[in-house]
Amino acid sequence: MVPSQKNAFGRTDIQVTAMGYGAAPIGNIFRPISEPESENMIRRAWDSGLRYFDTAPMYGHGLSEARIGHGLRWYPRDEYVLSTKVGRLLKPKKRSEIDSGVWVNPLPFEAIFDYSYSGTMRSIEDSLQRMALEHIDIAFIHDCDFYTHGDKQPHYFRQAMEGAWRALAQLRDEGVIKAVGMGVNEWEVCHAALKEADFDCFLLAGRYTLLEQEALKEFLPLCEERNAAVVIGGGFNSGILATGAVENAKYNYGPASKAILEKVRKIENVCRDYHVSLPAAALQFVLAHPAVPTIVPGTRNVAQLENCLEWIAAPIPDDFWRSLQKQGLLDEGAPTPADRQA
């Protein structure tokens, strides 16, 4: 696979590269990233031919958007695709008074959930100002899922469908944005949204990976039927598919369970048999699905970015995928790179 290969983005006229640049890390998730490192990653991504960049107001409470805008400012705007998200408005506040969660040294803004029509319109305008760019290509409704909202999810989902969806569909019709999507951690929420409204795309984090293929049951077939594009984030399941089943391996933002560790060990055994890198298999697997035109692995430094570029391009024998399926480690109906070549 070629990271810089251009793929059609569902039914839209957008084309995205097979690998995009996921800008959550430069929002200083878990630990800070310096300005030079952030700039170097964006520059290296561009020089490698990557032309899709994804960010969000939540990432560092505006820091990721500010850095992306700065890093891309002098590149030709019609040569790349940019996505950001709605669902949170940023209000000025002292850093000492902000509950920033996983974001270290964020910008001095408090993130407030708002999926309303007016809040969505304000969010898009704010993002354009923060990034100092003239337009956004793709807007995702962000985190109206159970992982984020728990028991309040039905309320926020309904607000998103009646407010944010209506606002973004209007902006799409007016040509302000090119595509409307939803970005969440659960395929079931994406599926419910697609059954209800005319979405162009989704960003699904961690729920279609080398470890998990339940989205094949209902959601991904409907995406194929409706020609809705699916961007895959969290392709390493937040760590374990990059590190392997090591001590303190992370899965879904927490410690991996014994069952997950055991399954990964079995996958690693097949990797050893075929001399395949586990993270290479993880990235290439999701790109093989016909509804998935791009993945956006988050990287903390240039070395990690280089690794991802190499993993996507690494040769993997067709028999590797067949062996995983025969051993029950991969859904038999899951498309693989071997199917694409066939």
In the chain the first and final C-alpha atoms are separated, in Å, by 14
Q: 3-state DSSP helix/strand/coil percent for the chain, to nearest 5?
A: 45, 15, 35
> Which of 21, 54, 137, 251 is an active site residue?
54
Pair of tokens at residue 7: 């793929």
Signed CA dihedral, 27, 307, 249, 260: sign only: positive
Q: What is the DSSP letter of 330?
A: S
Exactly one of 21, 52, 80, 85 is catalytic; name it: 85
Query: Looking up tokens 């991504």, which residue turns up?
Result: 45
85 annotated active-site? yes
54 is catalytic: yes
59 catalytic residue (yes or no):
yes
Tokens standing for residue 116: 């309303």
3-state SS, residue 38: helix
Task: Provide the strand spans (E) within the chain.
Answer: 6-8, 15-17, 21-22, 52-54, 81-86, 88-92, 109-113, 138-142, 179-184, 201-205, 229-233, 250-251, 254-255, 294-295
Of 21, 52, 59, 80, catalytic: 59
How far is the C-alpha of 321 from the C-alpha of 119, rounded, in Å?
Answer: 45
**Phi/psi at 52 (nearest 5 deg)?**
-130, 130
* Residue 325 contacts residue 338 (beta carbons within 8 Å): no
Q: What is the Cα–Cα distance from 342 to 329, expressed in whole angstroms?
A: 21
Angle (CA) 64 68 74, round 5°: 160
List the catalytic residues: 54, 59, 85
